[in-house]
A and B are shown apart, each in its own frame.
Chain A
Amino acid sequence: MKHKQTLSSAVACVVLSLLLLTVLYFSSGIHWEAAQPFTRTFRSIVELRKVYDIKYNSYYIAGVTQDSIYLGNLTAPLHAIGMDNESLDTQHIEIKVKNLPKLSLRSTRLSVRDRHFFISDGSNRTIITGHTGTWKMLNTYIVDEYFNDFEPIDSSFFAVRAYGTNRENILGTISARKDNIVQFSDHLLEKQIDGIFCTDGMLHYVPYFDNLVYVYYYRNEYIVFGKALNLVARSNTLDTISFAQIESHKLVSSNTYTMTRPPVLVNRNTCVWDRSLLINSPSLSKNENREAFRTSSVIDVYDLQTRTYSFSFRIADYNGQKLKSFTVSGNTLIALFDHYFIAYTITM
C-alpha cells in the first residue's frame, strides 16, 4: 500500500508543477501576439532562388555594391564571403593585411561601399580601408573619438554613432581626408529614457539620395539626415509605439547598463534599397493572417522620397528559423537564417 501512496504523492508533485508552469505561461501573454491597430497591404514580390549552407552562424551582412553582396564573419574579421547578385556565384575572401593594428574581436566589423572595404573597430578608434579588387589593406586611420557604430559613405568619409557626454548615444561623421575631422550632433537622436537603449537603432547610408537614415529599434521613428548632420525629417513607421517601452538599470558590480525587462522591439531589422527603406517589423497588424505571421517575417517598405508606407511582403521562415538579417542588391534579396543564407529574386 505504501508505494502506491508514494506514487500518488509523486504524481501530485508533477500535477502541481504543471499547474504552476501553465499559469506562468498564460499569465505572461507570450502565447498570444496582440494585433496592433494598423493595417498592411501585402504583395508577394520575392521568389526563392538558392539556399547556401555557410556552416557558421557568425556571418553578418557587410555591405552591397551594384553587383555583389558581401558577408563578414564575427569570429574571423579578415574573412568574408562575396556573392555575385546575377550568377549567385560565391567566393571566399581573405583580407591581406600588414602590421595589423590592435583590434578587439567584439567590436570589429567589416563594411563594404562601392569598390572599397572597411574594417572598423570603434573601441580601438581604428578604421582600415582598401579596395575590393585586391582585398589588400591600404590605409589605417586611428581617429580621435571612440565610436560604437560605423557606416561608410565613401572611401574616406564615414558616419558613426558614439557615446557623447553622459555616455549617451550621438551621431556624427568622420572625415579621413583632412586630419580625421570628427563632427558630432547631439540633436539628431532624441533621448526618451536613458539615452543609450532608448536611442539604439540602425544607421544606413542612402546612396540614392546621398544622405543618411537612422531607424530606432524601440520606437516607430526613423530620422533622415544629411552628411553635414543637418536634420532632413523625422518620420513614423506604421507601428503605434512612439515612446520606447524599455526599462534599464546600471549594474553596480560590472559598471554596465543592462535592460531589466524584455524590451518591446518595434523595428527589428532594416536595409536600404534604392529609394526605399525596408523594415522587418515584429508587430502583427490588425488585418493580418496569424498563421502566416507566425511562420514568416514581415518586411514593410517605405518610400524615402515621400517618407510614406508603400506595401509589405513576407519572407518565410527557413527550418523553423526567422530571418536574422537581410539586404538587397540589384533585384536580388538575400536573407541570413542561422547558418544559411538564401537568395531571392525580386519580381515587381
Chain B
Amino acid sequence: MNIDSGSMQAKIKNMIVEAICFCLILLFMYAATSKVLDLERFTVQIGQSRLLTEYSAILAWAVPLIEVAVSIMLAISRLRHVGLYASFTLMLLFTGYIALVLTSDGRIPCSCGGVIEMLDWKQHLVFNASFVVLSFVGIVLYSSAKYPQAIRDPA
C-alpha cells in the first residue's frame, strides 16, 4: 500500500463522512425546526408521555436547542469529531426512548416533529436505529481518515 492510495482512501472516507454529517444535519435541523414552529404542541406532547412529563417544560426547549447545537458542531470541521459522538449519543437516546415507550406504554404520541411523526413506532425504531448506525460509521471513518496510519496494514 503506497502513500498515494492511502491518501486517496482518506479522501473517499472524508467524502463519506461529510455525506453522513450532511444527512445528520438535515435530520436534526428539520426535527428542531418543526418542533420550534409549534413549540406549544411539542410541550403538550412530551407532557403526555409518562416518561417525560416531569421534565416537559425544560425538554421542550432543550431538545431542539441540542439538535441545533449538534448540527453546528457537525458543520464546523474542527468540531466535527465531537459532533459525531454527540449525534451518536443523541440518536441512541431517541432510539432507547422509543424502545422504552414500546415496552411500557404504546399509546404516547410521537413528538419528533414534521413527517417523522407519520411513522408508526416500529418504523420509527428502524429509522432511528439506522441513524445510530450511520453516525457510528461516521465516527469510525472520521477517525481512520484523520489518522490513516492507525489503520494501515503494518506489512
Interface mask (A1-39 → B, CB under 8 Å = 1, otherwise 0): 111011001100110111011001101101100000000
A1→B151 CA distance, assembly (Å): 9
Does B38 sit within 8 A of A, measured CB to CB? yes
Contact B92 A13 (CB under 8 A): yes
Which B residues are within 8 Å of any A CB, using their own CB?
Answer: 38, 40-41, 43-44, 47-54, 56, 85, 88-89, 92-93, 96-97, 100, 104-105, 136, 139-140, 143-144, 147, 150-151
Chain A residues near B53 (CB-CB < 8 A): 28, 261-262
Does A249 sit within 8 A of B, measured CB to CB? yes
Interface band, chain A: 20 to 34
Contact B54 A251 (CB under 8 A): no
Chain B residues near A14 (CB-CB < 8 A): 92
A44→B140 CA distance, assembly (Å): 59
Chain A's nearest CB lies how many Å from the CB of B22? Answer: 21
Q: Is the interface of B mostly helix, strand, loop or mixed?
A: helix
A5→B49 CA distance, assembly (Å): 37
Contact of A16 with B47 at beta-carbon distance under 8 Å, contacts A2-B147, A6-B139 already known: no
Interface mask (A246-278 → B, CB under 8 Å = 1, otherwise 0): 010101111000111110000000000000000
| Among candidates B85, B88, B96, B144, residue contacting A21 with C-beta atoms closer than 8 Å | B96
Residue from A25, A28, A259 whose CB has the most chain B CB atoms within 10 Å: A28
Q: Is the interface of A mostly helix, strand, loop or mixed?
A: helix
| Among candidates B49, B85, B150, B151, residue contacting A13 with C-beta atoms closer than 8 Å | B85
Which A residues are within 8 Å of any B CB, using their own CB?
Answer: 1-3, 5-6, 9-10, 13-14, 16-18, 20-21, 24-25, 27-28, 30-31, 247, 249, 251-254, 258-262
Q: List 24 A-B contacts (CB under 8 A).
A: A2-B143, A3-B143, A3-B150, A9-B139, A10-B139, A13-B85, A16-B89, A17-B89, A17-B96, A18-B96, A25-B100, A27-B54, A28-B54, A30-B50, A31-B104, A253-B38, A253-B41, A258-B44, A260-B44, A260-B56, A261-B47, A261-B56, A262-B48, A262-B49
Contact B97 A21 (CB under 8 A): yes
Chain A residues near B139 (CB-CB < 8 A): 6, 9-10
The 7 closest A-B pairs by CB, nearest first: A2-B150, A17-B92, A6-B143, A2-B147, A21-B96, A13-B89, A260-B47
